[in-house]
Amino acid sequence: MSLEKIAISIGDINGIGIELALKNHHIVKKLANPIYCIDKKLLKKASKKLNIAIPDDFKIYGKYKKCKIKVAVETKSSGRFSYDSFKTAIDLAVKDEVSAIVTLPINKKAWELAGIDYVGHTDMLRDVFKKDAIMMLGCSQMYVALFTEHIPLKDVAKYIKTKRLKKFLSDFFISIDKPNQPIAVLGLNPHAGDNGVLGDEEKYIIKAIEKVNKKYGSKFELVVPDIAFTPHIRSRYKYFCAMYHDQGLAPLKALYFDQSINVSLNLPIKRTSVDHGTAYDLAYKKNNNISNLSYINAIKEAVI
Amino acid sequence: MSLEKIAISIGDINGIGIELALKNHHIVKKLANPIYCIDKKLLKKASKKLNIAIPDDFKIYGKYKKCKIKVAVETKSSGRFSYDSFKTAIDLAVKDEVSAIVTLPINKKAWELAGIDYVGHTDMLRDVFKKDAIMMLGCSQMYVALFTEHIPLKDVAKYIKTKRLKKFLSDFFISIDKPNQPIAVLGLNPHAGDNGVLGDEEKYIIKAIEKVNKKYGSKFELVVPDIAFTPHIRSRYKYFCAMYHDQGLAPLKALYFDQSINVSLNLPIKRTSVDHGTAYDLAYKKNNNISNLSYINAIKEAVI
């Protein structure tokens, strides 16, 4: 059986992306057949700077504008490069030349400097495919899907509407292959509103859950947010739907920081990603002890 | 050295409060000199129902209205009883007959049925002492203080104002004896607003931190909410100030559910509490395996 072909976008070149790719190629190639979206010139420069040799079977792909490495600095050209690398990976997936893409971390500020209008990977995928991509983070112990993502906290409550939630839960359920197990849906308010005393948006959540469960036979259940991740409750679920960014990600990262990955659901292509940033503080430093757990888990999830 | 006298309010009599008190008296009496706020009649009934003998040195105090035990049911009379028990404990502390009070869990609905206007213990303490009591939960590994508590999520952002935060941080710092170590203050928005791109309330938080640090020499630091509780970051702090209920409590309970306690700060009296509810599902059941960790930790904290 031949290994799955995957495209790996290299992320921000002034961060830890290239180092992760070079250092872990010997592991990655046992799991997949990787194509790294970077050009020879830049790869050579990075290899020299990092003092890590380029493996012989390190397959690269794509055309890129000339770009200098400026360690730990957000630059316009690094923003452009990581965008082009990601775009190249998407194109490979769209043309079916790879079965999935794995993304290394970009720098959002660098994208802004390069005049790229997207907040990040998921946002861009949503636009490219005109689909409501769902951002899910986690690891084999638990996954958290986000109903709202990168919006101010004060705007979250406005998004909690039955119709919108119904679509989200339906899309999510289908994307994860309709498991026959309970799935936690977190309330919005403290104590899930305590019967409306501490906020009443739970009524929309409950209505959406009822409708989707009826339609699909799914087992979505409303759970009180602050106890959702206690050992007893979390043992009941593999999947959690959080209403907002920190509600899901703070507990997830408290429990499983190093090993978590980011998966984009509800798209025509498969995309996974590391769950950490560019780590400028560690980039191009000797003995930086960068954990590869999230990267390797992202590769594993991509080839499942 | 004689043990500290403490008052223990018995909580909702239809929940697990009395059982915790009876079963753990032999441990508690080694840590403190407890006075249980309950009357003989009710205690006898509960002892019979639970099939647990009343220890000889189980000191009780207070006058209460007649009340029937209705296992796992919210009743008007149980609401009144737990309120009177708490009030009795407060009075003992005010009269300096005890050095601290420890509270067992009440049922908020029962308080409502009894026509009691408070949302809970902390709320009542705030009113009785006309002081901005601060609710802090945690255990020896970490403590989380809540800037806002039992309010709808949609209202949280409105509370984030420099003046109000300044008072909170100052009161908090003084209450915990001005430690010479960094204290985490969580941002409100995802990525702490990402320089205003995802919400801008962090500007008020930063201003408040600067002012309080300047005035008191404290070391409050703004921390990004979703990474605040990762192993690396949380090893830096003992105290965390969360902007809202679930931001602090979901990660805390994910990490340290059983052993956490609730401490009221910034009051003329000392009050600690268990960090769990009435557990109606376990109340008066055989072999219910109720954990006493939180209760014993609350006693320990009360006598420090």
Q: Which residues in chain A are contacts of B151 at CB distance < 8 A?
A: 190, 198-199
How far apart CA B34 and CA A38 sit, in angstroms, is 70
* Residue B197 pLDDT class (50, 70, 90 cuts): confident
Q: What is the pLDDT, as a whole number, of residue B2?
A: 87
Residue A256 has pLDDT above 80, yes or no: yes
Q: What is the pLDDT, as a whole number, of residue B196?
A: 83
3-state helix, strand, coil in chain B (%, to 5): 45, 15, 40
Whether residue A201 and residue B251 make contact (CB cut-off 8 A), yes or no, is no
Residue pLDDT, tens place only, A66-80: 999 999 999 999 999
Residue pLDDT, tens place only, B125-151: 999 999 999 999 999 999 999 999 989
Q: Which residues in chain B are contacts of A234 at CB distance < 8 A?
A: 254
Whether residue A251 and residue B247 make contact (CB cut-off 8 A), yes or no, is no
Read off φ and ψ for residue B260, nearest 5 degrees.
-70, 155
Q: Which residues in chain A are contacts of B154 at CB distance < 8 A?
A: 154, 156-158, 199, 201
Q: What is the pTM of this model?
A: 0.90
Q: For residue A13, give Cα distances in angstroms to A7, A43, A102, B251.
A: 17, 9, 16, 33
CA distance B62 to chain A (A): 31
* Mean pLDDT, range B169-198, rounded to an integer: 94
Record the tokens describing residue A158, joined without a space.
């406005």
* Residue A137 pLDDT class (50, 70, 90 cuts): very high
Whether residue B153 and residue A156 make contact (CB cut-off 8 A), yes or no, is yes
Q: Is A157 on the interface with B (CB under 8 A)?
A: yes
**Residues β-bridged to residue A263:** A136, A272
